[in-house]
Amino acid sequence: MKKIFGIYILTAAFILSAGCTKLDQTFYDKVTPETFYKSEKDIKAALYRPFTHARWYLGADRWNLQEYTADHFAITTKGRHWYNGGENERYHYHRWTPDDGWIWGTWRGTLMGVALALDTKKDLEKLDYTKFALTQADKDDHLNQLNTLIAFFYLRGLDYFGGLPVFESLEGESLPRNTDLETFTHIETLLKTAIEKLPKKKAGDKEEGALRQAAAATLLATLYFNAEAYINKPMFAECKKLCQDILAKTYGEYSLDASWYGPHAFSNDKSPEIIWSIPSEFNKLQYDWFYANFYHYNTNKYFDIDGGNNNGSHLQPSRKPTGELYTADFKLGSPYEQFSDQDLRKKPYKYLGGGRYEGMFIVGPHLTPSGAVINGGEEYKNLPLTFVDQVGRFSEVGPGKRYASVNVLPSKMSEGEENTGVRLVKVPVPNNADKSLRWGADNPAIRLTEIQYMLAECLLREGDKAGAAALINPVRKRAFTGGADPDPVTAANLDEYRMLREWGIEFLGEGRRRTDLIRWKKFTTETWWDHQPSARHYNRFPVPTQAISGNNNLKQNDGY
């Protein structure tokens, strides 16, 4: 770690110095915090650096491992596109190996996040904050935000890999992995310490990326919520208590947003339910990693914006090529059809101007805002594009073609087309007229709804189905006109599958699905579209080959 991090620091120093032309500089044989930090601005710049890493970490490979391995999203091969050497199929079918790139990117990114936060913490601990017109409370806040961030990275790493090398300085080298329990205990200790000293959110405070007391409490609740998967010890009672306290405002002032879109809209920094968000702004730290992969090459015409896409990701299908629903075949998956037809979110996404929008899916005929037809460029070249909630080579059906009818059309990962699958628009996209709003929505990393659903699941596991329903239904109601939910959760219809369905509806595309399936012991045991049960060891990812080749003290996970 010391060697790797040293290279990172030296590279950064070289980049910074390469643009300098001033010659009358003072050189030191050793840079110390006392010589480097000159103002409060320097302190905050250092504090923000590991948070920018967290912004990157919440997307891309980490999201991929959570969603493409589970029952909601897929990247099908679309004719000549997206086979990618079989990578997408390996994740979907649970056949990944220690050589796969998303796994290496996640292992490396996790430990880099820890190292960046530790390096900043080490510097700030040495500073006398009074010299910068700051207080001890400011210092405690900064240090415990970093403790919380370190715990966040370790928590995610524990979820993906199990035990990790636990280090509290950057002096070690070629460290072995700690046990699952040791890693769990380290996370727990960091968060308990942080909760004691972090400030609470007050009424009216905006969310601007700071980690407050409720964020640390939520991460601790999440650790306990999934403890059975992590250390083979159910800790739902501990999770329940924390969730109750958060909802009782013990850790700060939060409340459920009145609208379904409030936590995701352009002004979601004002949403009362955001507990921790990662700020985003056009041409700055943009929350946009998903944009290219999620949308068709010509979807920029649908959004009425500039810029292209590469047409990879989509929801797994709810319907067979014949149009029949898959719900009779398996209990998981079919994400689009899990939404009621009356659900306001199920409408096709449409930007209404002035920061307003409706719906969150691209489905059906692809049209410009003025109603003009958008054509395809591959299977449907010069033909109208219509996005379908199905997977199959429909362009190859008919007289003299490959398939005589849709009745014999296969539906699997290798059989996609350019219009395959419903597309999710959870982060609103404005048109060119409102370009200044683009990527104005922050990434809602933690929101109060998560607390309500965790508590609901804890109550369900205790047998209190009515209590669980009372927590879920207020969230559901805001997605229906006048709150008229046609299918509310009740004590009679709530079971583990309905609970997973509710997690899937509310948190679709928010990078948590694999973890939810594992907690209910369904990730490797259940069937969904084009996916059969896999071996138990796939509940964890392997230690990447590149990590072991650089550190022979690392032990591989069982089964790999």
Same domain as 296, residue 192: no
| Rounded mean pLDDT, 321-347 | 97
Mean pLDDT of the chain: 93
Domain-located, residue 40? yes
- CATH number for the domain harbouring residue 45: 1.25.40.390
Closest CA to 349 of 283, 261, 432: 261
Domain-located, residue 490? no
How far apart are alpha carbons 138 and 501 in whole angstroms? 42
Last residue of some domain: 391, 413, 431?
431
- Structurally, how many domains does the chain consist of? 2
Query: Is 539 strand, coil or helix?
Result: helix
Same domain as 59, residue 194: yes
Instruction: Give residue 172's pLDDT.
Output: 77
CB atoms near residue 149 (< 10 Å): 28
How far apart are alpha carbons 104 and 107 in whole angstroms? 5
- Residue 474 CB partners (closer than 8 Å, separation 6+): 256, 452
Domain-located, residue 132? yes
| Rounded mean pLDDT, 405-417 | 98
Domain-located, residue 239? no
**Confidence (pTM):** 0.93
Same domain as 327, residue 178: no
At 479-520, the pLDDT tens digits run: 999 999 999 999 999 999 999 999 999 999 999 999 999 999
Domain-located, residue 385? yes
Same domain as 288, residue 224: no
Contact call for residues 71 and 531 (beta carbons, < 8 A): yes
Lowest mean pLDDT among 117-121, 305-309, 326-330, 395-399: 305-309
At 44-60, the pLDDT tens digits run: 999 999 999 999 999 99
Same domain as 304, residue 176: no
- Model confidence at 389: pLDDT above 90: yes
- Model confidence at 553: pLDDT above 60: yes
Same domain as 225, residue 92: yes
Distances (CA, A) of 226 to 183, 239, 428, 560: 14, 9, 31, 23
Residues 368, 372, 375, CA angle at the centre, nearest 5°? Answer: 85
Instruction: Give residue 10's pLDDT.
Output: 35
Same domain as 524, residue 422: no
Last residue of some domain: 431, 461, 488?
431
Domain extent for 68: 35-200+208-230+508-559
- Model confidence at 15: pLDDT above 60: no
Burial degree of 314 (CB within 10 A; 0-12, 13-18, 19+): buried
Domain-located, residue 480? no
Lowest mean pLDDT among 17-26, 32-41, 267-276: 17-26
Closest CA to 275 of 501, 452, 64: 452
Last residue of some domain: 393, 410, 431?
431
At 338-386, the pLDDT tens digits run: 999 999 999 999 999 999 999 999 999 999 999 999 999 999 999 999 9
Instruction: Give residue 12's pLDDT.
Output: 37
Same domain as 314, residue 196: no
At 425-483, the pLDDT tens digits run: 999 999 999 999 999 999 999 999 999 999 999 999 999 999 999 999 999 999 999 99
